[in-house]
Amino acid sequence: MQAHITVITLGVDDLERAVAFYRDGLGLSTPGIIGTEFENGAVAFFQLHNGLKLALWPRRSLAADTGLPLLSATPQASSALELSLGHNVDSREAVDAVMQQAAAAGARTVKPAQDTFYGGYAGYFQDPDGHLWEVVFNPGLDDLG
């Protein structure tokens, strides 16, 4: 298989809250919530980089579509450590700026930005649904293939 990832979908508990975080707090571009006329169809798409899209979809809708059961009566991620999203930026200052923007938008800082063992600079935050983001300046990223 030649993987060509085009959409990353995050299951969320409250779609309107999640859209507000990513649109208003982080400044990502979206046409807003679409598909509300369909049962389990409400979703929001955000344009990222090089055609990649971020989708936010209620966990209940994702469960209905896949046929997988929700883990509890109150849907929530089983662990923040199942996946992290990496947002690479061009400088240490940009890492600090994004971390501050995320915190101001309501993110929980998991690990403040700091020097890394590989010569970079990175920090972690969680969005309101607990999804883990790493904001990183890695001067050697292009050399990794």
77 has pLDDT over 50: no
In a domain, 55, yes or no: yes
In a domain, 1, yes or no: no
In a domain, 98, yes or no: yes
Residues for the chain: how many in total?
Answer: 145
What confidence score (pLDDT) does residue 84 get? 87
In a domain, 73, yes or no: no
Boundary (domain end) residue, out of 66, 98, 116: 66
In a domain, 35, yes or no: yes
- What band does 22 get if pLDDT is binned at 50, 70 and 90? very high
Total domains in the chain come to 2
Instruction: State the residue range of the domain holding 135.
Output: 80-144
Residue-wise pLDDT tens digits, 83-101: 889 999 999 999 999 999 9
Same-domain status, 57 and 99: no
pTM, two decimal places: 0.83
In a domain, 2, yes or no: no
139 has pLDDT over 90: no
Same-domain status, 107 and 60: no
What confidence score (pLDDT) does residue 135 get? 95
Same-domain status, 105 and 138: yes
Work out the number of other CB atoms within 10 angstroms of the CB of residue 137.
20
Boundary (domain end) residue, out of 19, 37, 66: 66
What confidence score (pLDDT) does residue 24 get? 97
What confidence score (pLDDT) does residue 145 get? 55
The string of DSSP letters for 60-127 reads: HHHHHHH-PPPSSSS---S-GGG-EEEEE-SSHHHHHHHHHHHHHHTPEEEEEEEE-TTS-EEEEEE-
